[in-house]
């Protein structure tokens, strides 16, 4: 049997992180050049039902059953077994690789889960729909994030721009005109679970100002949606700047992330914000394509570890 391969993209959140955990909408887009891949190969000579998992990037080469019960790969593969109602998986090797920086708000954990779930279900001859893959990946996200909204696993599984609100089916976002963004990785790993938990504690201690901030972020996301769907890309810059300010008020920015967003704006970005959990991770800048090189240079000079240029292409729906 030939090896089965599946992949899934990274993502960035354009607007609405953190507030989305509290029921506000958010907008996320896939980043197709950053990908996680899983390859499943049958091992007819191995012991029956022995599943070996390999992730050379992190030095992992182990039997699935030797991993902790809450190891993300074990949870992903057990989720597949329960979803398909099967007890045992025929002997195989599941090999995982990814060029998505980890703990950077670029969706690496969701992309690995989605790639593994797709590859294993296809290997078993029972591929699942995008929304069922997203649901299974959500179970893994709970380990990484504590109380995830579900936006990461959704955008990564659907691989198209989404307007996401907790408890509602994700909506495909219409992109009327191309949107070019520079993504800069601060190189500072920042587990999303930490900032999400901090915001939760702060909200519990003093709900009113936090609920006001969540509401302001939500109304800004609705404006961003109208601008994106109406082709008014120039309006998005100011909205990004405002979103960054509100994230600062939530307490999830840092001096370095502020320096990076300032550097992006000073070199020509129309707007910039942190993206994802914050504190470390990445910032994004909206750029006119002819200024992208200058913004990239300036972000590197300001200390960004790596940058990615991506254009979100127009969609039909």
Minimum distance, C-beta of residue 315 to ligand PMV, in the bound complex (Å): 21
Question: Using CB under 6 A as the criterion, which residues of the chain lie in contact with ligand PMV when the complex forms?
Answer: 13, 17-18, 20-21, 105, 145, 148-149, 151-152, 192, 196, 276-277, 281
For residues 93 and 42, what is the distance between their CA atoms, to the nearest angstrom?
7
At residue 249's C-alpha, the angle toward residues 248 and 254, to 5°, is 30
**Residue 40 vs 283, nearer CB to ligand PMV:** 283
Output the smallest distance, CB 148 to ligand PMV, in A: 4
Token pair, residue 257, equals 């992330």
Q: In terms of CB distance, is 151 or 296 closer to ligand PMV? A: 151
Nearer to ligand PMV, 125 or 169 (CB): 169
* Spatial distance between the Cα atoms of 275 and 223, rounded to a whole number of angstroms: 18
Query: Which residue lies nearest ligand PMV, judged by its C-beta?
Result: 276
Q: Are 292 and 309 in contact (CB under 8 A)?
A: yes
Task: In angstroms, give the least distance from the CB of 217 to ligand PMV.
Answer: 10
Q: Is 57 a catalytic residue?
A: no
Distance of closest approach, residue 93 Cβ to ligand PMV, in angstroms: 28
Chain centre to alpha carbon of residue 256: 21
Q: 96 or 151: whose CB is closer to ligand PMV?
A: 151
Nearest CB to ligand PMV, comparing residues 17 and 135: 17
Shortest Å distance, C-beta 281 to ligand PMV: 6
- Residue 78: partners with Cβ closer than 8 Å, 6 or more residues away: none
Helices (H) and strands (E) in the chain, counts: 9, 11
Contacts 24+ apart (CB under 8 A), 163-171: 163/25, 163/26, 163/27, 163/225, 164/16, 164/20, 164/25, 164/26, 164/27, 164/28, 165/20, 165/23, 165/24, 165/25, 165/26, 166/20, 166/21, 166/23, 167/23, 169/131
Residue of 47, 63, 152, 185 marked active site: 152
The three-class DSSP label of residue 45 is: coil
- Smallest distance from the beta carbon of 154 to ligand PMV, in angstroms? 10
* CB nearer to ligand PMV: pick between 13 and 270: 13
Instruction: Name residues whose C-beta falls within 8 Å of residue 85's C-beta, 6 or more positions apart in sequence.
Output: none
Q: Burial of 249 by CB count in 10 Å (0-12 exposed, 13-18 middle, 19+ buried)?
A: middle
Question: Known catalytic residues?
Answer: 152
């Amino acid at each position: 049997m030939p090896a089965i391969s599946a992949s899934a993209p990274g993502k960035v959140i354009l607007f609405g992180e953190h507030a989305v955990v509290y029921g506000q909408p958010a907008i996320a887009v896939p980043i197709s050049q950053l990908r996680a891949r899983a390859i499943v190969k049958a091992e007819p000579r191995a012991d029956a039902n022995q599943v070996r998992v390999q992730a050379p990037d992190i030095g992992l080469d182990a039997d699935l059953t030797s991993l902790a019960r809450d190891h993300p790969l074990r949870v992903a593969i057990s989720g597949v077994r329960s979803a398909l109602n099967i007890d045992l998986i025929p002997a195989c090797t599941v090999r995982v690789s990814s060029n998505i920086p980890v703990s950077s708000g670029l969706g690496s954990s969701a992309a690995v889960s989605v790639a593994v779930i797709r590859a294993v279900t296809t290997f078993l001859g029972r591929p699942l729909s995008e929304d069922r893959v997203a649901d299974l990946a959500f179970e893994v996200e709970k380990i990484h994030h504590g109380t995830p909204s579900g936006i990461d696993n959704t955008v990564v599984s659907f691989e198209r721009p989404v307007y996401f609100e907790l408890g509602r089916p994700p909506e495909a976002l219409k992109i009327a005109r191309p949107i070019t963004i520079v993504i800069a990785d601060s190189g500072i790993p920042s587990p999303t679970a930490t900032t999400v938990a901090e915001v939760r504690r702060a909200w519990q201690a003093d709900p009113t100002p936090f609920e006001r901030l969540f509401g302001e972020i939500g109304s800004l996301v609705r404006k961003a949606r109208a601008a994106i769907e109406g082709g008014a890309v120039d309006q998005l810059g100011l909205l990004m700047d405002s979103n960054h300010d509100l994230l600062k008020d939530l307490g999830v920015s840092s001096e370095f992330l502020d320096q990076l967003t300032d550097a992006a704006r000073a070199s020509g970005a129309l707007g910039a914000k942190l993206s994802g959990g914050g504190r470390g991770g990445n910032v994004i800048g909206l750029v006119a394509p002819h200024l992208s090189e200058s913004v990239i240079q300036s972000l590197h000079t300001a200390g960004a570890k790596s940058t990615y240029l991506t254009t979100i292409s127009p969609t039909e729906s």
